[in-house]
Homo-oligomer: A and B are copies of this chain.
Amino acid sequence: MSDAKTAIMDAAERRMQQGGFGGFSFREIAADVGIKSSSVHYHFPTKEDLAAAVIRRWTEYTSDLIDKELEKDRDPVRVWAKTFRGTAFSDAHMCPCTVLGAAAQDLPDPVAKEVKGFFRMCQDKLVAQGLSPGKAAEVLSTITGALVLANAFGDTAEYDRATRDLLRKSAAAPAARNDPRGTAAKRPAKAGARD
């Protein structure tokens, strides 16, 4: 993937985390990256193309990250709670799928479909990791809601308060804790190269 394409998606992701689908414009993205808005259209013809691509990338990345974290800690519930904790404590504070999911009724169909795909991935994975469908839905809801509350309060501590039971759940815990990782820190850090 070209540098520009990645930089565009990074900028769009960041703004979608804060304001959802209506929270960014081609001109803003272009200014963030340092190009013109028509150049953004070259890489992503329409706004929904861009948003869908960002969500798809986020879904893949989250899935991979969960797999990786699960090698360090075998308790799936705690792994999910810790991974989303990284998002809550990142610069942008929010999962873009949560922001878009809350306003899903106002989303272009292709984007709504990608958001649905993200949450389905989460639930399927939780079930594959041994949880009942009901428990998977409950855990994912608690984590998602905790992100919303922490964001509304503007206080990351609210995330920990709401997920305390999830974070300490089982006692069979190895090392690897306290590793807040946000979007910016998570990837090879190609994004900032074009300031």
Question: B-contacting residues of A (Cβ < 8 Å)?
Answer: 18-20, 22-23, 93-94, 97-106, 112, 115-116, 119-120, 133-134, 137-138, 140-149, 151-154, 158, 161-165
Known A20-B20, A20-B22, A20-B106; contact A119-B149, beta-carbon cutoff 8 A: yes
Q: Does B162 lie within 8 Å of A141, measured CB to CB?
A: yes
A112 to chain B, nearest CB (A): 8
Other A-B contacts than A98-B148, A141-B148, 11 sampled, CB-CB below 8 A, are A19-B103, A98-B102, A99-B103, A102-B103, A102-B147, A102-B152, A104-B154, A112-B154, A138-B163, A141-B163, A145-B145
Known A23-B22, A145-B146, A148-B102; contact A164-B138, beta-carbon cutoff 8 A: yes
